[in-house]
């Protein structure tokens, strides 16, 4: 799975309230509507600026906080192609895999907003085309790659009717 996009950089501890505030998520199941408010407490222009396939790039502990799956879904519906961070909070990480949003653990410290990036999940490598550098990424466990390759847990269950992770 090779992904290509432009970086939008954020800091450490981007929590689920910042990704999509609780005040929106209770009103609707329309993820397109939620996507208009994604990251707005950190960057009010984000939803307008983000192009299909762009990457959210962050520091440590991305997605800490709530179990709300609206967080990865709002990112996906805003067009975000993957999230790259030094570490992820565990519920967000699961939710991202389950909803089909690629999450990449790697050293993001040298990435700048606007950099053109290419991620290869199987080969475990991140290329920064703007800076001409290559960084290894922590490979995903095979069963997570399988769920992602299926398009998320919904599609996995549609295919197998239960967990088929062996």
Partner 1 sequence: MGKTIAEKILSRKSGRDAYANDIVVADVDFRMGQDGTAPLAIRSFEKMNGESVFDPERVAFVIDHSAPSPLEGVSALHSLMRRFAKEKGITLYDVGEGVCHQLLPEKGHVGPGSLVIGADSHTCTYGALNAFATGVGSTDLAAALISGKMWFKVPETIKFICHGRLPKGVYSKDLILYLISQVTADGATYMAAEYTGEAICALSVEGRFTISNMAIEMGAKVGLMEADDKVWEWVRSHGSGEFEAVSPDPDASYAAVKEYDVSNLEPYVAKPHRVDNGVPVGEVKGTPIQQAVLGTCTNGRLEDLAVAARILHQRRVHPGVRLIVAPASRKVYLEAMETGVLQTLVRAGAAVVTPGCGPCVGTHNGIPSDGENVISTANRNFKGRMANNKAFIYLASPATVAASAVRGEITDPREFLE
Residue 15, classed as helix, strand or coil, is strand
Q: Which of 132, 107, 136, 143 is nearest to 119 (CA)?
A: 136
41/116 with CB nearer partner 1: 41
CB of 118 to partner 1, least distance (A): 27
Q: Which DSSP string do the residues of 77-97 spell out, in sequence order?
A: HTT--EEEES-B-HHHHHHHH
| CA 100/CA 71 separation, integer angstroms | 12
CB of 131 to partner 1, least distance (A): 27
158 belongs to the binding site for partner 1 (CB under 8 A): yes
Q: Which of 65, 77, 82, 103 binds partner 1 (CB under 8 A)?
A: 65
Quote the distance between the C-alpha of residue 93 and its chain's center.
Answer: 8
| CA 61/CA 69 separation, integer angstroms | 16
Question: How many other CB atoms are found less than 10 A from the CB of residue 8?
Answer: 21
Stretch that binds partner 1, among 17-25, 107-115, 117-125, 126-134 (CB under 8 A): 17-25
Stretch that binds partner 1, among 45-53, 110-118, 119-127, 155-163 (CB under 8 A): 155-163
49/90 with CB nearer partner 1: 90
Contact residues toward partner 1 (CB under 8 A) are: 13, 15, 17-18, 21-23, 25-29, 41, 60-61, 64-70, 73, 87-91, 94-95, 98-99, 141, 143, 152-154, 157-158, 161-163, 165
């Amino acid at each position: 799975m090779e992904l290509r996009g432009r970086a939008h950089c954020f800091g450490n501890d981007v929590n689920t309230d910042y990704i999509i505030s609780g005040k929106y998520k209770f009103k609707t199941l329309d993820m397109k509507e939620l996507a208009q408010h994604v990251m707005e407490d950190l960057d009010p222009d984000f939803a307008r600026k983000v192009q299909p396939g762009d990457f959210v790039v962050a520091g440590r502990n991305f997605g800490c906080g709530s179990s709300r799956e609206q967080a990865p879904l709002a990112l996906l519906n805003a067009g975000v192609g993957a999230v790259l961070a030094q570490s992820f909070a565990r519920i967000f990480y699961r939710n991202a895999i389950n909803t089909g949003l690629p999450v990449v653990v790697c050293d993001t410290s040298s990435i700048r907003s606007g950099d053109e990036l290419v991620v290869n999940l199987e080969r475990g490598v991140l290329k920064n085309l703007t800076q001409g550098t290559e960084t290894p990424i922590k490979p995903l466990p095979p069963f997570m790659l399988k769920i992602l390759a299926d398009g998320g847990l919904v599609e996995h269950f549609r295919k197998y009717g239960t967990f088929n992770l062996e």
